[in-house]
Structure 1
Amino acid sequence: MSRLLFILALFLNTVYSCEVCEPCECNVIRFRRRFLCTADCSDRDLTSIPGTIPSEVHVIDLSYNDLHSEDLARLKLFTGYLTDLNLSYNNITYLPAQSLSTATQLNVLNLDGNILEKVDSTSFGHLKQLHKLIGIHAKTFEENSFENLEGLNYMSIVFGSQEVSENIFSHLKLKTLHTNFKTAKRIPEKLLNFGIDTLVDIYLDVPNVESLHENTFSGLTILKSVTIQTEMMQTLPSNLFHSGVNDDRKMPVNLVTVMIDGVKSLPRNLFDKQQSLKHLALNNIEDLILPKSESQVDTLDLSGSTLYRVSADWFTGFKNLRFLNMSRTKLVEVNNDTLMPLLSLTVLDLSYNNITNLPDHSIQSSQNTIVAFNVSHNQIRNISSLNI
């Protein structure tokens, strides 16, 4: 009984100490049958970490302030309770080696909006429980920068240098990796080899990279989602997502989501063997070709790509398509037969184009399924009976 009273008294004291921490706003919340102390110190013009934050705090939001690297020394005062720390959009240029030494239970660290001079193995040496690292941006990353992050499964990273080591992720077991190569002109062929048994979601923002090696995704057989955003690529390797006839590489042929933005032209057989594809976005592409084989695609986003006119057989094989976005595609006409294969179409967006006329039977095949049809910001002078 005395033990129970002691635990209750300790909890009440923690709750009480979490109620007032000006200039921040502290609260106690319940999360997964636990009571957590949270401190919201965001956007308060802070130049140092307030001493009023209780040492038993679980969640601290220090985003959008004026904290510098030397101000992080105070983080050592927080005990092993801290699980979520947001330092985004401050003026942090390096991580002092011991600043997070007591944060042994830290699961989430957000550094978005800060540019670090260098990251090495001492930067995260004590964060073995870290699961999510958001917005890590540095001018230089040493090869062993992340070797101590054994529990990390999510990372978003910005590379500030032109050269990136292909071993930078070699110690990680990430499920999700979002990368931004700001100035690099090439991606190492084996950069993603670390994720053969773990990587499920990959995002490549490569504005200055002119080409990808056909082995970029080689071996990533459990990969489900790929995003490629670029400005300089003319095309992609035809075997980027599958093996060729005489090629025995294990490739990601079970993709569910693919988003490609900014590639000038796509190979005709890029999506061969992709039988699980549900969500396909092909944006800002000048020469656009759709797969002709039977498709399970549910959502197709072609916004921003150049279409002008769409032939009658363009959507052959897309019988399961429900959401189609062809906004901002410079489309000038829609033929009666263009949308005929789309028997399950629910939402159709043709906005911001140059369409002048909608034929009588343009969406007749979807008249029993369609619930939203957007043709705003066109040059339509006549809308015939659409039989819907």
Structure 2
Amino acid sequence: MWGFTISILLLSLESLRACPDECRCEDKAGVPTGDCEGRGLYSLPPGIPKEVGTLILKNNSLDHLPSDSFVNFTQLQTLHLQRNWLVTLPVSLFSSQSQLTVLYLYGNRLTSLPDHIFTPVPKLERLHLSGNQLAHFSDAVFAPLVKLKTLLLSGNRLQALSPNSFQNLQKLRVLSLSSNKLTSLHKDLFRPLRSLRVCTLNNNQLAQLPESIFRGLHDLYWLTLAHNSLRHLPVNLFQQKQIKHLYLYSNQLQSLHAGQLQPLPDLQTVKLNGNQLEVLPSGFFANLPKLSTVTVYDNPWRCDCSSSYMRGWVRDHGQLVKSQGLQSGGAVMCDSPTQVRGLPMANLTDADFSHC
């Protein structure tokens, strides 16, 4: 048995020695690897050992891949195709890659994905498609990827998503949809994603959210909704007890509901800076024992009788309030009435509110 294993290893090492000049072929942590990074390649060089488990073709000038490009690489587990010039992919490009678990395609010019391109790679766990030009994809594209854990789609041109876009992705943990052109989300979009932990939706054009959009995501602990056009949030939007980090900055939020954060006992970070908030309802930050970072700067805070809760909370919890550089003690500045405009809210005294 040992003799057979050694023979296989020797054959693999001998194969790695037969490597095209444009690449380095070596064993990395027990994985035969063909590294052809940054060689100005316009096509796949012949002679790469078919036994490679990792193939690195990133940072080249590949703009076209024939459908049989990887037909001989049946042991491939990780494939790096990021930062090339790919516009389209043949539907059968990965037909021989049944062992593939990691695929990097970010930083290309992909405008679409064939419906069944991922059918041959059911073991895929990480798929990086950020920084392309995808405007849409069909419900069939990701459906075969039942083991997928990470899906990155940020920096594309997505404007709308079907409610079945992520069907069958029950094991997905990380989903990035940031920096697209999404204007709305269907209430059932995330329903299949029972294992989702991280969801980034920042830098889109979302003006409103369905109240049930995150319902059932019991493992969600990181949610980013920053840099959208949200004016109001549904009362019961946040019911995910595991959320630790909530980013709502740089929207157009005008008000928040009392008790809106109460279902989040593990909340550590909430960022509300850069909105249109004038007051916070009484008790807004109550019963959040793990809260350690709050940002509320760049809001038009009203410092009058309606702000007594906010003023008291800032005074008593100043160490939690962070400035733009995340230093403690960030000042919450009054915007109105005119007589206190520009003054730190915490500096106001009871005498300033004696008429209340």
Return the TM-score normalized by structure 1. Answer: 0.72
- State the Cα deviation string for residues 240-268 of structure 1 (Å, max 9, x = none): 11xxxxxxxxx313312212232222514
User: Match of 2:78?
Assistant: 84
Contact 1:14 1:56 in 2 (8 A): yes
Q: What aligned pairs does 1:3-42 form with structure 2 within 5 A after superposition?
A: 3-18=1-16, 20-30=19-29, 35-42=30-37
Contact 2:91 2:114 in 1 (8 A): no
- Partner SS for 1:280: strand
- Partner SS for 1:9: helix
- Partner SS for 2:176: strand
Q: How far, CA to CA, are the matches of 1:147 and 1:178 in structure 2?
A: 17
Contact 2:200 2:224 in 1 (8 A): yes
- State the Cα deviation string for residues 92-111 of structure 1 (Å, max 9, x = none): 22221221111111111111
User: Match of 2:185?
Assistant: 187
User: Match of 2:306?
Assistant: none
- State the Cα deviation string for residues 199-218 of structure 1 (Å, max 9, x = none): 22211135222111212112
Q: How far, CA to CA, are the matches of 2:124 and 2:61 in structure 1?
A: 25
User: Match of 1:166?
Assistant: 163
User: Match of 1:348?
Assistant: 328
Paired residue type of 1:58:
G
Q: How far, CA to CA, are the matches of 2:276 and 2:96 in structure 1?
A: 53
- State the Cα deviation string for residues 352-383 of structure 1 (Å, max 9, x = none): x9xx999xxx9xxxxxxxxxxxxxxxxxxxxx
User: Match of 1:297?
Assistant: 290
- Partner SS for 2:169: coil
Q: How far, CA to CA, are the matches of 1:10 and 1:263 in structure 2?
A: 59
- Partner SS for 1:119: coil
- State the Cα deviation string for residues 216-245 of structure 1 (Å, max 9, x = none): 11222332221113332223223211xxxx
State the Cα distance separating 1:131 from its structure 2 match: 0.6
Among 229, 246, 249, the residue aligned to 1:258 = 246
Q: Given the alignment of the two structures, is residue 129 of structure 1 paired with residue 133 of structure 2, yes or no?
A: no
- State the Cα deviation string for residues 295-351 of structure 1 (Å, max 9, x = none): 2335415286447899652347859x7x7531269xxxxxxxxxxxxxxxxx63759
Identify, as 1 or 2, the structure richer in strand.
1
User: Match of 1:337?
Assistant: none
The alpha-carbon distance between structure 1 residues 324 and 103, as it changes in their structure 2 partners (threshold 3 A), is: farther
Q: What aligned pairs does 1:1-388 form with structure 2 within 5 A after superposition?
A: 3-18=1-16, 20-30=19-29, 35-71=30-66, 73-80=68-75, 82-135=76-129, 137=132, 138-158=134-154, 160-173=157-170, 174-180=172-178, 182-195=180-193, 197-241=194-238, 251-265=239-253, 266-269=255-258, 270-287=260-277, 289=280, 291-300=284-293, 302=295, 305-306=298-299, 312-315=311-314, 325-327=322-324, 348=328
- Partner SS for 2:5: helix
Of all paired residues, the percent bearing the same amino acid is 22
Segments of 5+ residues of structure 2 without an aligned counterpart are 304-309, 334-341, 348-356
- Partner SS for 2:153: strand
Return the TM-score normalized by structure 2. Answer: 0.78
Out of 84-93 and 287-296, give the one that drifted further. 287-296
- Partner SS for 1:94: coil
Segments of 5+ residues of structure 1 without an aligned counterpart are 242-250, 330-346, 363-388
